[in-house]
Structure 1
């Protein structure tokens, strides 16, 4: 089975710019590679920052970077991560996914967004591993993205690395405003719910799938994710893993957050 990780990627380019509020995020993200392949044949990245009607997969040989953030220092718009694409593999994956009932369009013009290059600059800084980026379906359906993960696990090369890039807490107002005590309790409760869902050895895979379909009913769910695009990549990863993972806890921007690996 391919290696799998979900990373909480932080605020725009701030992890790369040395922001003190991202210190633990940077340290924990860099440490993830101790438990992941040093040189996977390809990295397949599911980013919270690309939504399409249906699923799309990058298929350019050398995708550009998309600096999809605003109001940051000039240097952040000149960051480089010249990882190659993998057009032939993209076509092979799309064909195999079609056979399983998941249609994926190839996109030969789209570049890599910061949900891809910010974490990979920290995790695999040499930029010498081919990368494919996969979009989210704009429905953000838990069931559809769980199935996407299930199917990916059947078609990716054995030595591939699947990374979901989002954030386990993504309430933008809460990042930059003091949280009321009851809101902080609610936010922490949802991180615990995530741990239980992803790492619980007593939760079988059918129960995990059901929990994801009802994630917004969990305490703190909608507070942590007013819109769930930063959570959905984790659902893809769990669907691909089909088993419990490991939680890595840290604090970023004064909130508790998680990475997960399988």
Structure 2
């Protein structure tokens, strides 16, 4: 069974742990994440998560069997710096991924000290709230070259037939200076381009269009720096010949943004 890959718009900070403060503000995103186990139909052997919040000079894998927590956000209530998502790591999967990448001519390092960042746990807590599925995080590579991250995804593709779900965790619009109504037009334009490129284009054209994302309408207004878009490249590369579908979409995110998440396969 070949499992799908995902690009998830992961929301802001530790939102799943802040129901009292946020109320229903994240209800649509949360529902889309909670639906992933139903879409999969099986409990995966593990998740491989590529988070927008981790960059290294070369692709790097978290190799601890019991990763800690990184609270990589600011200005949130004190208790959010004590939350825990105690999913197990998988040194075995980390080694397997490293070998896949090396076989593809892609250098890959290991980090036994790195903890989970909120690009992982804010996205995955709604999916597996019991933290009972092993998780390995994989970094982005400094330079944020789209073609390198698509190639990374291609090298990871065999994992899909081995019970591993590959998840790119970012945000389809990420311009902190235009969160809210100021980003309404740019987010809508860029999101429409994403839908057209990912869902309507044929697979060969799709890869080329996404690699050339900076030519898209409102591209740099949507992503002044592209780290929150690069996880999409990995999810796409790992399912390059598979159809894409939108699994989350709303037009009022954070006060006026259009954002989406996608599944491949």
When normalised by structure 1's length, the TM-score is 0.92
Counterpart for residue 198 of structure 2: 198
Q: Distance in 2 between matches of 1:146 and 1:89?
A: 20
Q: Distance in 1 between matches of 2:40 and 2:18?
A: 25
Q: Distance in 2 between matches of 1:187 and 1:90?
A: 35
Counterpart for residue 261 of structure 1: 263
Counterpart for residue 120 of structure 2: 116
Instruction: Tell me the matched-pair count.
Output: 256
Report the 3-state secondary structure (helix = DSSP H, G, I; strand = E; otherwise coil) of the residue aligned with 2:262: strand
Larger deviation, residues 105-114 vs 27-36:
27-36
Q: 1:217 aligns with which of 215, 218, 227?
A: 215
Q: Distance in 2 between matches of 1:235 and 1:66?
A: 24
Map of 1:79-228 to 2, 5 A cutoff? 79-155=83-159, 157-176=161-180, 178-179=181-182, 184-200=184-200, 203-228=201-226
Pairwise CA RMSD: 1.5
Does structure 1 conserve the Cα–Cα contact (< 8 Å) formed by 2:16 and 2:125?
no
Larger deviation, residues 183-192 vs 128-137:
183-192
When normalised by structure 2's length, the TM-score is 0.91
CA deviation vs aligned residue, 1:160-203 (integer Å, no higher than 9, x gap): 11111000011111115x42xxx633321110111112112xx2
CA drift at 1:37: 4.4
Gap regions ≥5 residues in structure 2: none
Map of 1:32-47 to 2, 5 A cutoff? 32-47=36-51
Gap regions ≥5 residues in structure 1: none
Counterpart for residue 244 of structure 2: 245
CA deviation vs aligned residue, 1:143-162 (integer Å, no higher than 9, x gap): 00000001100345521111
Q: Distance in 1 between matches of 2:141 and 2:100?
A: 18
Report the 3-state secondary structure (helix = DSSP H, G, I; strand = E; otherwise coil) of the residue aligned with 1:134: strand
Q: Distance in 2 between matches of 1:244 and 1:256?
A: 22
Q: Distance in 1 between matches of 2:160 and 2:63?
A: 15
Does structure 1 conserve the Cα–Cα contact (< 8 Å) formed by 2:87 and 2:133?
yes
CA deviation vs aligned residue, 1:11-51 (integer Å, no higher than 9, x gap): 11124312143232222222233212441001000000000
Note closer, same or farther for the CA distance 1:2–1:34 as it changes in structure 2 (3 Å cut). Answer: closer
CA drift at 1:225: 0.6
Q: Distance in 1 between matches of 2:192 and 2:126?
A: 26
